[in-house]
Amino acid sequence: MRLVGLLLSLVALTAEAAVEPAGLAMLAEQQQVPLAELQAAVASARLRQEVLDTISRPWEAKPWHRYRPLFVTPDRIRDGLQFWQHHAATLARAEQTYRVPASLIVAIIGIETFYGRQMGSHPVLDSLYTLGFHYPERSDFFAKEFAQLVLLAKEEGWQLDTLKGSYAGAMGMGQFMPSSYRHYAVDFDGDGKRDLFANPADAIGSVANYFASHQWRWGEAVVEPAQIGLMAVDPLLRREPELTQQWSELAAAGIELATPLAPQTPVKLLAFDQADGPEYWVARHNFYVITRYNRSPLYAMAVYQLSQAIQEAYASSSQTPPAQPELVAGRLQ
């Protein structure tokens, strides 16, 4: 046992030494965090190998036909309906305040944490320390989030070592990273706190605020199934989430939609791998907005399809859905 303890101590010391003082000082200056507070946070954090192992095998690496069944499930639809019914007044107020559909808000919370039941058990301080200082692929992003966590905990009066979340450092019902929590979390019930861990009203308002802040367009389509002609369309696929194409470019390749679009409409062609071959869709501005929450097109499509299923379930229930544009095939309004 002594040997094991000694080895663990050596690992911790090695990890600690890997944080260069000059780099930490630069981070403190860039993020406007007192250096002493950042140093104290680093000294309190632990390197977590399980975090590095988990981030190396993300769910988004799966093909669509294996990814979708993880999130668009009967249980998630049923519980989403119940969540909507239980928080109908708050969701209606969020729609009116932010012009973001209730079905989208519910789907985000459903996919992120199964409506608040699975918010993560990883120490957030350790996760962000591990990824910020020992994961070179995205160390810049996670180191900034580590610094943002220090600021957030100070602002909210939290103890750093008590916060739990995902392996990537996301927190609360909507799984906000520290910078998003600082900028987009709202006190939606007016109790003087922004509590995304235990207060559904704040979680609902904060998710709505996030999408409103990223220019969600009420009443516009999200994504539509595409009919592919005889021409090869794979050269039109793009890796970046931004809408870098216009509809005229896709139409010239023989792609058709049920909804006519103006030639200059910004779009993006998407391909989702089914077991028997690719399925093509055309993304619009609101699909891109969902990718601002998570860059993966698989994630954005799962959110869209879950939101559509929940809205249809709500419309079919005994309760009257809040006033919003009609849901039609291929559209979340």
pLDDT by residue for the chain (333 residues), tens only, comes to 444 343 444 444 444 446 889 999 999 999 999 999 999 999 999 999 999 999 988 767 789 999 999 999 999 999 999 999 999 999 999 999 999 999 999 999 999 999 999 999 999 999 999 999 999 999 999 999 999 999 999 999 999 999 999 999 999 999 999 999 999 999 999 999 999 999 999 999 999 999 999 999 999 999 999 999 878 898 999 999 999 999 999 999 999 999 889 999 999 999 999 999 999 999 999 999 999 999 999 999 999 999 999 999 999 986 555 545 444 333 344
Phi, psi dihedrals of residue 56, rounded to the nearest 5°: -80, -10
Task: From 92, 300, 98, select the one nearest 212 (Cα to Cα).
Answer: 98
- Compute how many other C-beta atoms are within 10 angstroms of the C-beta atom of residue 189: 16
In this structure, what token pair is assigned to residue 216? 């969600």
Interacting residues of 192 by C-beta distance below 8 A, sequence separation 6+ = none
**pLDDT score, position 156:** 96
- Which residues are known to be catalytic? 112
User: What is this structure's pTM?
Assistant: 0.89
- In sign, the C-alpha dihedral spanning 221, 223, 224, 227 is positive
3-state SS of the chain?
A: CHHHHHHHHHHHHHHHHCCCHHHHHHHHHHHCCCHHHHHHHHHHCCCCHHHHHHHCCCHHHCCHHHHHHHHCCHHHHHHHHHHHHHCHHHHHHHHHHHCCCHHHHHHHHHHHHCCCCCCCCEEHHHHHHHHHHHCHHHHHHHHHHHHHHHHHHHHHCCCHHHCEECCCCCECCCCECHHHHHHHCCCCCCCCCCCCCCCHHHHHHHHHHHHHHCCCCCCCCCEEECECCCCCCHHHCCCCCCCCEEHHHHHHCCCECCCCCCCCCEEEEEEEEECCEEEEEEECHHHHHHHCCCCCHHHHHHHHHHHHHHHHHHHHCCCCCCCCCCCCCCCCC
For residue 263, give both structure tokens. Answer: 């030639």
**pLDDT given for residue 18 in this prediction:** 65
